[in-house]
Amino acid sequence: MDGPDIVVFLGPSLPVDDARRILPARYLGPARCGDVLRARRLSPRAIALVDGLFASTPATWHKEILLALDDGIAVFGASSMGALRAAELAPFGMIGVGAIFEAYRDGVYTDDDEVALLHGPAGSDYRELSEAMVNIRATVARAVACDVICPESAERVVRHAKDTFYQERSIATAIDWAWAGDTHAEEPTRFRRFIANGGYVNQKRLDAMQLLTCLGRHPTAPPTTVSSVPRTSFIVKLHYDTACRPLEAAEGDLPIEERVALEARNLGRLFPLVSRLAQLMAMAHALGDGHTIDQANAGGLDETAPAACVARVARVRAVVDDYLRRHGSRKTARLRRRHMLDLMRLDGAYPRLGLAGRLETAAGPARRGIGRRGSPEIDLYRRIAELWTIVDEQLERAGVAFAEPLQTLSDAFRRARGLDRRASTLAWRRANGLDGRDYQRLVITDARLGLVSAGAQLHAVGLVPSTEPAFWLVDAIRLVGLYTRLERRVLREGAAHAVTPGGRTAA
């Protein structure tokens, strides 16, 4: 198995440089919620989950792993978050490796804080800022076996460590507490000397190394027992979110498409618009069941676009064409123009782009290829409005209602824009060319867009619960003609490196 065939989520358990000496692979940082879903689009034959974040961000979902298993991807776990998930999902085909996994599987460990610790950012190689309970237990057990301390003293050390908050946990502090007040005791001195001379047992590191060695020898897994993973509204929502976001990793560990997506974050005002376009493309694609798909209708893509991308864009075009046939060109143009200007208003771009937007939308049908004519920003708004018009119609058809009355929605709308007085609200309405009725419509549009952006009401609008491992952000970048430019920038300057702020907690 080649390196790119294996994806490893690794953080504080083992430095990546040490891991590479054991196994060539794509090394990503500690897994967050959605990362296993993202990893599926890299088409690996195996995914190894070692470390994962859980306090600063939601942890990896079990169903993400089940979907990977359902795809025929071998999934392994060890050491930390991987040991936890492997113990929970072993009946479904996830393969656990190492002593920590076995302890969780057999019920010796039941608390997730056994593997939790505080660590530094990626730039520090996820340097450990506290110590994992499993390492303290292993070190204490070795000290007892070597007659450094007695079992009663070992119990005191373990108890004090366990009673300490995991972000502050260390074996040195536990030793101080265990012999507090006994300044003449010899055991703590022997124990500290034992640790300083190599007696410390980093069980998480040992298990991570064992997993990588195992992957090098046996990179495939036996058939799984996952027959068909239910596509619930929760996993579908997570899928739409992750399909529009890049993975983050070191430069050499990502394929060029993922690196282009990371570079797109430097597009300034255009990046949030490209991201919104990607999300709406995914939703329009989900509405495409039953439409006649013409692959030639995917015009505007760069010539390097893969066949799967061409097929997805062609399906989105089919949905757009169907809307045009049903409503006619005049009504469609009017609705798209209204939605386009409303989106500008919601983003605060109308005072800057509104007049140009009205002139461009009045000039004729939408033009393909961003940057060829007119403003790239306006062209993005036009494309977004084209798809939002379709999704908004689905919301109307579904009769989606809000729990809050219009006044409550309006109050939230004004607070979000700092419009705390009636005079400031009126001034904002004048700057955006809105009368009272138009303002109410905009408030409702904002609430509907918020529902869609949050992934709510996906079933209500008739979206097919697909979890295809597509990367809609790259599709959107290709569609608007930015891919080649960003690719050249990536190849010239190197991929944008992910920066992880502050201390993180991981398991």
**DSSP for 53-113, written as a single string:** B-SSSPPPPHHHHHHHHHTT-EEEEETTHHHHHHHHHGGGTPEEESHHHHHHHTTS---GG
How confident is the model at residue 276, as a pLDDT? 93
Name the residue ranges covered by the structural domains of the chain.
1-220+500-507, 237-493
How confident is the model at residue 120, as a pLDDT? 87
Question: 146-160, 211-225, 253-267: which has the minimum mean pLDDT?
Answer: 211-225
How confident is the model at residue 444, as a pLDDT? 92
**Averaged pLDDT, 182-208:** 92
Beta-carbon count within 10 A of 278 CB: 26
Q: Is residue 367 scored above 50 in pLDDT?
A: no
Q: Is residue 366 scored above 60 in pLDDT?
A: no
Terminal-to-terminal C-alpha distance of the chain? 28
How confident is the model at residue 396, as a pLDDT? 85
How confident is the model at residue 413, as a pLDDT? 94
Tell which wins on pLDDT, 253 or 478: 478
**Averaged pLDDT, 458-465:** 62
- Taking only the tens place, the pLDDT of each residue in 276-333 is 999 899 888 888 877 777 777 777 787 888 888 999 999 999 999 999 999 999 999 9
Query: In which band, very low, low, confident or very high, does the pLDDT at 371 lie, cut at 50, 70 and 90?
Result: very low
How confident is the model at residue 430, as a pLDDT? 92
Q: Is residue 260 scored above 90 in pLDDT?
A: yes
Q: Which amino acid type is present at position 334?
A: R
Q: Measured in whole angstroms, how far is the alpha carbon of residue 127 from the centre of its chain?
A: 23
- Taking only the tens place, the pLDDT of each residue in 89-113 is 999 999 999 999 999 999 999 999 9
What DSSP string runs through 363-420?
TSSPPSSTTSSS-HHHHHHHHHHHHHHHHHHHHHHHT---SS-HHHHHHHHHHHTT--
How confident is the model at residue 158, as a pLDDT? 96
Looking only at the bridges linking them, the beta strands covering 46-49 and 74-78 are parallel
Question: 217-231, 261-275, 311-325: which has the minimum mean pLDDT?
Answer: 217-231
Tell which wins on pLDDT, 406 or 361: 406
For the full predicted model, state whether its pTM sits above 0.85.
Answer: no
Query: In which band, very low, low, confident or very high, does the pLDDT at 451 lie, cut at 50, 70 and 90?
Result: confident
**Averaged pLDDT, 367-396:** 78
- Taking only the tens place, the pLDDT of each residue in 465-484 is 667 788 999 999 999 999 99
| DSSP element (H, E) containing 6 | strand 6-9
